Chain A
Amino acid sequence: MNLDDFKSNWQNQKSPAELRTAQTNELVEKMKSFDQNLTRQNWWMSIAFAVTTVFLTGFFFYFKDFGMAFYGTIVGVIVLMALSIWLFWKRKILSTQQDFSQESRQFLEGRIAQLEYNKKITRIYMPIYAIVLTTLIMIYIGEVGQLMERKYQLMAYGITLTYIVLIMIYGMRKQYRKDRETIDPMLEELQEMKKNWGE
């Protein structure tokens, strides 16, 4: 089969009729709602963050009889949450601000950087986040637990620590698996593509 002769046959292929009918207002509306959904998602996340912050700030001002460690842990958790939200937004912004009309090699570089950033969040940020959050909560329980009997204090430590560790291990393993199954093969493919086009 001669490829040059085959070109006209190739170009005779039409897009399926059901896709062609898609160029209606309905499609445009669908695309508009796609943008709106993204904004809505971000808004919900911000509202959840704001409510939690208000709640924690209330704690900060309501309880007067605790030591510095108590207030320090509340501030620490708020800072940690703000940092997480910022990282999440940055990831979201990076993915939504991709310029699809740039040269593909340039696009590939951006896409690779973005995927590597996502991996860095899983590999570096998540473990640090887990350790800092656990430490802050332990200090917090230590402060609040002073009012309890030793037995209940130990129970509070044990239950909280087990819960956090299990959740963290589950969450991180899930994320690692997701990275291994989706990000790693994609990264490999994109790097291969970049190398191939830059020979």
Chain B
Amino acid sequence: MKSNLEKQFLDLVKMHQDKIFRLCRAYLYEPNQAEDLYQEVLINIWKSLPQFKGTSAIATWVYRITVNTAISFNRKEKKNPIVGQDIPEHLTSDLEAGVQAKQAEENQMQQMHRAIAQLEPQDRVIIGLYLEDVAYKEIANIIGASTNLVGVKINRIKTKLTKILNPTI
């Protein structure tokens, strides 16, 4: 029979698994590395759950654990191999050629992942949270910075991403 803690954990994972995984993917480009990180996040959630006091929203708590696990994740031989590489020509040309919508959407997603992978780790965390639609104030609360700083950072990251995605601009 499952204990209350186990039930709570499983419900929590069920509710937040996609968000956690997307944040892991924003932080680490390679899907299998992101999966390793995801598993580690779950382990840390499990270990931290008995200490959850409810002083912050559960989503904030989950995001904090995800971010902190990501920044302490052992990246030995796990460096983002994509950093510094250009976006392959065929991805942009595929889009221009107007291939099927689904394919275009997937390519766009792939492009975005590649672009995010070229950002600094701290920026990847912020943009991951931003894409999840987390409010600036909450992002600030998660990383322990001021809301103003988060706003400034997001603007800078957006500019960087635009440059990466549209190098001709």
**Which residue numbers of A lie inside 8 Å of B, CB to CB?**
1, 3, 6-7, 9-11, 13-16, 19-20, 22-23, 25, 27-28, 31, 34-35, 98-108, 111, 181-182, 186, 189-190, 192-193, 196-199
Bound Cα distance A98, B132 (Å):
26
A103 with B35: CB separation less than 8 A: no
* Nearest-CB residue, chain A, relative to B45: A100
A-B residue pair count with CB separations less than 8 angstroms: 132
B168 interface residue, CB < 8 Å from A? no
B144 with A15: CB separation less than 8 A: no
Chain A residues whose C-beta falls within 8 Å of the C-beta of B68 in the assembled complex: 98, 100-102, 104, 107
B29 interface residue, CB < 8 Å from A? no
- Across the interface, B122 reaches (CB within 8 A) one of A98, A100, A111, A196, namely A196
Chain A residues whose C-beta falls within 8 Å of the C-beta of B161 in the assembled complex: 3
B47 interface residue, CB < 8 Å from A? yes
B21 with A10: CB separation less than 8 A: no
Bound Cα distance A98, B65 (Å):
11
Interface string of B97-138 (1 = CB under 8 A from A): 000000001001101100000001110010000111100000
B42 with A11: CB separation less than 8 A: no
A19 with B112: CB separation less than 8 A: no
- Across the interface, B10 reaches (CB within 8 A) one of A1, A10, A28, namely A28
Bound Cα distance A153, B165 (Å):
74
How many positions in chain B have a CB within 8 Å of any CB in the partner chain?
Answer: 57
B144 with A23: CB separation less than 8 A: no
Chain A residues whose C-beta falls within 8 Å of the C-beta of B21 in the assembled complex: 13-16, 19
Bound Cα distance A108, B143 (Å):
10
**Which residue numbers of B lie inside 8 Å of A, CB to CB?**
2, 6, 9-10, 13-14, 17-18, 20-22, 25, 31, 35, 38-39, 42-44, 46-48, 51-52, 61, 64-65, 67-69, 71-72, 74-76, 105, 108-109, 111-112, 120-122, 125, 130-133, 141-145, 149, 158, 161, 165
A193 with B121: CB separation less than 8 A: yes
9 tightest A-B CB contacts, nearest first: A103-B144, A105-B144, A15-B21, A104-B143, A193-B122, A10-B131, A107-B68, A100-B44, A100-B65
* Nearest-CB residue, chain A, relative to B165: A1
* Nearest-CB residue, chain B, relative to A199: B149
Chain A nearest CB from B136 CB (Å) reads: 13
Chain A nearest CB from B98 CB (Å) reads: 16
Chain A nearest CB from B7 CB (Å) reads: 10
